[in-house]
Structure 1
Amino acid sequence: MDRRETAALLAYIGRLDPRAIRTDQGEAADQLAQWHELLGDVPLSTPHGWDARIAARQHIRTSPYPILPADIGRPWEGYRRDRINRHTDPTPAVDPDDQAAWQAELVRARHAVATGTAEPASHRQLGSGRPDPELEARLKAIGSCIPPAVRTELAPYRPIRAAREAAVAQGRPDPLGVRCPWCLAQAGEPCCRRRIGLDGAASGHAPRATPHPTRLDLAAARHHGPQPAMA
């Protein structure tokens, strides 16, 4: 704030708290010079929520002590920190190869946010509305977020999942859709090689490329459903 704004702030404070009034002309000039020196970089108000008069009124209303320049400067620094913490740098609209212009744009945006002349730019959030119609039509056409051509290329690198997808596509039961009664692998996990030690306890955790026969039988039974009882 300039000297006139500082003088206006002191006059406003004097109306709320007569203790801040200086009747001697020399003391009033010294007070104005002191406050302007300490608050010269603090705006009187900004378009987005800061007003030094509100900070002064809050202090006078809640504190029994006479107001000092720090009682204005401290809320201002908190206001700046809060805005910068809520700000996410948007991508500058300049050539990214021009490092000087890129940095200058970031500094300009941050300074505008910190001084209250621009609102913080937050992360974009996912909305709760319907998905994009074009994306929805594409997913309906290919049936998955992974296109068929890409799925085929990935098959050699994930043979277990590829076998499950092939079984489901051909109408066969998915053996990994049930818990294995032999190695106790949970649904969705591949079977493991189960070895019996000398103490009778099961050991070994190496995954099998194919499920155990008992798991295949259980998946088939679940797939076809319960059979009618024989008369």
Structure 2
Amino acid sequence: MDRREIAALLAYIGRLDPRSIRTDEGEARDQLAQWHELLGDVPMATPHGWDARVAARQHYRAAPYQIQPADVVRPWESYRRNRLALHCDPTPSADPDDQAAWTAELVGTRHAVATGIAQPAQARAISQEGINPRLQARLDQIGSCIPPAARAALAPFRPARAAREAAVAQGLPDALSVRCEWCLAPVGEPCRRRRIGPNDGVRAITPRATPHPGRYDLAAAQQAQHTEQAQQPALT
């Protein structure tokens, strides 16, 4: 609030409680300076539910004591906390590689919500909102949520997935789309290598970088079956 808004608030409070009225010009000036110092960052009203006059009225409805600046600041801080508690940060539309722009957009959105300028954003799973158009355009451009350069840099650290992606890109059957009959690895999981101890017990199980050959055969047979089923309606 600026000094004019503080003066309007004090005039409203004076109508509610004549004890707060200062008739001396010097005392009125000091009171205005004190309230402006303590409430300078508190707005008079916001588009979404906050009004300092309502806070003052609620104070006199609940307590007979003369109002102090803290009696307006406390409801304002509670208002800010409640709005941020209801807010779920939406995905910024800025380029994720631009850390400064990404952070600035997050901070700006939270500040707008906390100060009552914007409504809290609900979680996407609850509101069923679609993806941001700018993010969708960028996803369509690069073809994946992981850029090609990042995918290539991660390939040495996840060889099984890299081999799977390379096979699918070449049109070969996806071995991980079927269950391995040799090591019993489920669909989507890499094949496993078992280390047997001297007493024929399994000592350790480690993932393989490449699937077992039999799994390739099962995936190829499944792919051929799907292709045949897709062609049957056309032949009919």
Q: State the TM-score, normalized to the length of structure 2.
A: 0.56
Where 1:23 maps in the other structure, the secondary structure is coil
**Aligned-residue offset at 1:124:** 2.4
Aligned to 2:17: 17
**Aligned-residue offset at 1:9:** 0.2
Structure 2 unmatched ranges of 5 or more = 129-172, 188-236
The residue identity in structure 2 corresponding to 1:115 is: T
Q: Deviations over 1:70-111 (max 9, x none)?
A: 000000000011111111111111111100111111111111
Aligned to 1:142: none
Structure 1 or 2, whichever has the larger Rg, is: 1
Where 2:178 maps in the other structure, the secondary structure is helix
Aligned to 1:84: 84
Structure 1 unmatched ranges of 5 or more = 129-148, 163-231
The residue identity in structure 2 corresponding to 1:35 is: W
Where 1:45 maps in the other structure, the secondary structure is coil
Q: Deviations over 1:10-39 (max 9, x none)?
A: 000000111111111111111000000000
Query: Matches of 1:95 and 1:9 in 2, distance apart?
Result: 44
CA RMSD of the aligned region, Å?
Answer: 2.4
The residue identity in structure 1 corresponding to 2:179 is: A
Query: Matches of 2:25 and 2:127 in 1, distance apart?
Result: 61
Q: Deviations over 1:180-212 (max 9, x none)?
A: xxxxxxxxxxxxxxxxxxxxxxxxxxxxxxxxx
1:155 partnered with 2:179: yes
Aligned to 1:112: 112
Query: Matches of 1:127 and 1:110 in 2, distance apart?
Result: 18
1:57 partnered with 2:57: yes
The residue identity in structure 2 corresponding to 1:88 is: C
The residue identity in structure 2 corresponding to 1:69 is: P
Q: State the TM-score, normalized to the length of structure 1.
A: 0.57
Query: Matches of 2:124 and 2:175 in 1, distance apart?
Result: 30
Q: 1:124 to 1:153 in 2, by over 3 A?
A: closer
Conserved? CA contact 2:80–2:115, under 8 Å: yes
Aligned to 1:68: 68
Q: 1:119 to 1:126 in 2, by over 3 A?
A: closer
Q: 1:152 to 1:76 in 2, by over 3 A?
A: closer
Q: 1:26 to 1:51 in 2, by over 3 A?
A: same
Where 1:95 maps in the other structure, the secondary structure is coil
Aligned to 1:122: 122
Query: Matches of 1:74 and 1:153 in 2, distance apart?
Result: 58
Higher relative helix content: 2
Q: Deviations over 1:141-194 (max 9, x none)?
A: xxxxxxxx88983322795999xxxxxxxxxxxxxxxxxxxxxxxxxxxxxxxx
Query: Matches of 1:20 and 1:114 in 2, distance apart?
Result: 30
Query: Matches of 1:20 and 1:67 in 2, distance apart?
Result: 8
Query: Matches of 2:106 and 2:185 in 1, distance apart?
Result: 48
Query: Matches of 2:127 and 2:3 in 1, distance apart?
Result: 48
Q: 1:79 to 1:126 in 2, by over 3 A?
A: closer
For residues 151-230 of structure 1, what are the structure 2 equivalents within 5 Å?
A: 153-156=177-180
Q: 1:60 to 1:151 in 2, by over 3 A?
A: farther
Where 1:156 maps in the other structure, the secondary structure is coil
Conserved? CA contact 2:13–2:20, under 8 Å: yes
